[in-house]
């Protein structure tokens, strides 16, 4: 894993693309200062070394921290003489410093951070997929980031060296792993609700 600012990202991508032994599909951990546990995980040497080992020597992952955006809520202006529901409107304000990075990565804003984005360019077209990162403390955040990196790394660990620059196929392998991880997390979320649902069901049945 490599940790650099947004301004250096394009130059670094060009540098690593020129290395024959490294995939042209890259990873990018995106987070803001609103995600302190991600920052703590990446700054802690033991966590960093473990994630670096999990990603392997042929797949490069960068980490970039854009400026934090913010949301504001306002009510629409009332029309004199008209009856209307004043439904609050939420507006997102993205710092101008993030514009270049967001344009390069073709993402609208930083609202859905933190995440691990896997991306590449094939025939002038940007290909990307994402793994959501979550956690309420350092250990949970590390586990979430580790699951994403391991899922992607395992998907390409058996790629023959002669195919290391077969960028489209390598990206598809990681994208499939991302879809599988999303499905797995949904199943786990549903499973975690079962005891609660059973408890409610038992209360309802006991009142009959």
Banded pLDDT at 142 (limits 50, 70, 90): very high
Banded pLDDT at 206 (limits 50, 70, 90): low
9 or 110, which is more confident: 110
Q: Nearest Cα to 27, choosing from 137, 98, 129, 136?
A: 129
Q: Which two tokens stand for residue 170?
A: 């390598």
Is residue 5's pLDDT more than 90?
no
What pLDDT was estimated at residue 141?
Answer: 95
What pLDDT was estimated at residue 158?
Answer: 86
Strand partners, 125: 122
**Looking at 3-7, 145-149, 197-201, which range is the least confident one?**
197-201
Banded pLDDT at 178 (limits 50, 70, 90): confident
Is residue 190's pLDDT more than 50?
no
Strand ranges of the sheet holding 61-64, from the earlier edge strand across to the other edge: 2-3, 61-64, 26-30, 115-122, 125-132
Is residue 88's pLDDT more than 90?
no
Interaxial angle between packed helices 36-43 and 138-156, expressed in degrees from 0 to 180 and rounded to the nearest 10: 70
Is residue 91's pLDDT more than 60?
yes
Is residue 189's pLDDT more than 50?
no
Banded pLDDT at 201 (limits 50, 70, 90): very low
Q: Are 42 and 3 in contact (CB under 8 A)?
A: yes
Q: Which two tokens stand for residue 117?
A: 């984005």
Is residue 191's pLDDT more than 70?
no
Name the pairing type of β-strands 26-30 and 115-122. antiparallel
**Looking at 50-64, 175-189, 192-206, which range is the least confident one?**
192-206
Mean pLDDT over residues 33-41, rounded?
Answer: 92
What pLDDT was estimated at residue 147?
Answer: 92
Query: Domain map of the chain by residue range?
Result: 2-206
pTM reported for the whole predicted model: 0.77
Q: Are 93 and 73 in contact (CB under 8 A)?
A: no
């Amino acid at each position: 894993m490599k940790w650099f600012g947004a301004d250096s990202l394009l130059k670094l991508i060009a540098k690593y693309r020129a290395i024959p032994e490294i995939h042209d599909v890259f990873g990018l951990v995106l987070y803001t200062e609103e995600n302190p546990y991600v920052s703590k995980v990446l700054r802690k040497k033991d966590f960093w070394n473990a994630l670096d080992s999990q990603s392997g020597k042929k797949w490069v992952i960068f980490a970039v921290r854009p400026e934090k955006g913010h949301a504001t809520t306002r009510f629409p202006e009332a029309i004199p003489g008209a009856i209307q529901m004043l439904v609050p409107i939420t507006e997102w304000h993205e710092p101008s410093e993030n514009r270049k990075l967001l344009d390069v990565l073709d993402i609208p804003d930083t609202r859905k951070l933190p995440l691990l984005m896997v991306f590449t360019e094939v025939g002038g077209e940007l290909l990307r997929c994402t793994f959501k990162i979550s956690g309420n403390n350092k250990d949970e955040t590390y586990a979430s980031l580790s699951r994403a990196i391991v899922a992607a790394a395992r998907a390409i660990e058996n790629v023959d060296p002669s195919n290391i620059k077969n960028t489209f196929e390598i990206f598809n392998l990681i994208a499939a792993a991302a879809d599988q991880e999303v499905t797995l997390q949904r199943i786990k979320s549903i499973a975690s609700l079962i005891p609660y649902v059973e408890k409610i069901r038992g209360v309802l049945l006991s009142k009959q």
